[in-house]
């Protein structure tokens, strides 16, 4: 049993933060990884841009689209390409989904980032993607902006599986969990709906470390590399309070599933930090860790399997509170991270559309 499979024994699922046409083809890389313990897949505009730009695997489908004579925009062409990949990944993970009774084996597809501050547009786009993929184990990704959180409640009430993404703060997490529960409460039957709350990790340390280095005091510098995991531990404690509490208990009796916390951005950005620190430090029951392939390999090689999320939680709260003592505002850092995260994905999507426009010209030529 490898270490990814051992994590599953402790109640944590590992999802792969990567997708491409090549890894989906038999006897593709994803099928092998599922056999080795991978239990889901996440995607985003950056991942798709690398997949399309890095190969000619999508040329045949682009040629078919051109041959239909449809005058589609690059955004519309991308959606067709993405839906095809997501459907194939869902089919590869269907056995996991069935064996888990609908509680695992999901593949995520993201609403366009330019809709992050548009509730109505997000709802329309999520419905379209849900219908286009047409698989029970698809999750539609919606950013946790104020407008996106409103959309989450509406979409869950309609029975869609939702991955709420780009979360950095405890306050935003609480709002997301409340939106999910409100969506379930509006349904006569809340069963067979799944959701994850994607909480970003490594970016928190990157941003906070920069702020601490700007302060420059010895007291500030000794706090580097500690914020992200402390932040995550507080979120997990709140998850336990919400989904093991009285309000959700009524829904659980009707078959509702808790909204698992998903740890995202778990590759280490700072080469001075251990390459598995955002896996080793974030292990706990009923959670997901989505990892890029290199992090999966590193963890299987030298990661540590032990429940760590419930250790030192009071100390984590004290640490987050102490950031203000050295001149760093936790609220400002996390708000900036969300704003920058939305913009980064929007920029990646524009790069992706430009890549697809180039591919269309290449194939047509």
Task: List active site positions.
Answer: 141
Residue 257 DSSP label: P
298 token code pair = 């590193």
Let me know if 121 is exposed, middle or buried by CB neighbors in 10 A (0-12, 13-18, 19+): middle
Nearest Cα neighbor of 242 from 256, 230, 254, 229 is 256
Residue with the two structure tokens 């046409």:
21
Angle at 108 between CA 45 and CA 54, to 5 degrees: 40
Q: How far apart are CA 157 and CA 318, in angstroms?
A: 37
Residue 328 DSSP label: -
Q: What stretch of H or E contains 107?
A: strand 106-110
Q: Are 122 and 142 in contact (CB under 8 A)?
A: yes
Q: Are 97 and 104 in contact (CB under 8 A)?
A: yes
Q: How far apart are CA 243 and CA 263, in angstroms?
A: 17
Angle at 90 between CA 88 and CA 96, to 5 degrees: 130
């Amino acid at each position: 049993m490898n270490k990814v499979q051992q994590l599953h024994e402790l109640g944590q699922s590992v999802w792969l933060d990567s997708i491409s046409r090549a890894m989906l083809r038999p006897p593709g890389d994803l099928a092998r990884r599922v056999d080795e313990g991978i239990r889901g897949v996440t995607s985003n505009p950056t991942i798709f841009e690398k997949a399309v730009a890095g190969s000619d695997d999508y040329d045949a489908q682009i040629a078919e689209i051109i041959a239909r004579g449809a005058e589609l925009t690059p955004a519309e062409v991308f959606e067709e390409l993405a839906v095809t990949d997501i459907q194939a990944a869902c089919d590869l993970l269907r056995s996991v989904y069935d064996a888990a009774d609908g509680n695992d084996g999901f593949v995520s597809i993201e609403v366009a980032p330019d809709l992050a501050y548009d509730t109505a547009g997000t709802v329309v786009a999520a419905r379209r993607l849900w219908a286009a993929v047409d698989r029970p184990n698809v999750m539609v990704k919606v950013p946790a902006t104020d407008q996106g959180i409103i959309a989450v409640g509406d979409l869950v009430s309609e029975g869609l599986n939702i991955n709420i993404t780009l979360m950095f703060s405890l306050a935003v997490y609480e709002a997301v969990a409340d939106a999910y529960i409100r969506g379930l409460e509006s349904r006569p039957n809340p069963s067979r709906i799944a959701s994850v709350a994607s909480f970003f990790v490594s970016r928190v340390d990157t941003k906070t470390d920069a702020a601490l280095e700007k302060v420059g005091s010895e007291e500030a510098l000794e706090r580097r590399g500690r914020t992200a995991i402390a932040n995550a531990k507080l979120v997990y404690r709140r998850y336990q309070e919400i989904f093991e509490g009285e309000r959700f208990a009524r829904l659980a009796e009707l078959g509702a599933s808790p909204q698992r916390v998903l740890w995202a951005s778990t590759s280490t950005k700072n080469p001075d930090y251990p390459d598995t620190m955002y896996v080793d430090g974030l292990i706990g029951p009923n959670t997901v860790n989505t990892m890029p392939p290199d992090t999966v390999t590193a963890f299987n090689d030298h990661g540590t399997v032990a429940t760590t999320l419930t250790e030192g939680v009071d100390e984590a709260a004290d640490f987050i509170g102490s950031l203000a003592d050295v001149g760093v505002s936790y609220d400002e850092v996390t708000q900036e991270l969300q704003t920058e995260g939305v913009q980064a994905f929007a920029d990646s999507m524009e790069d992706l559309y430009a890549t697809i426009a180039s591919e269309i010209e290449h194939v047509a030529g």
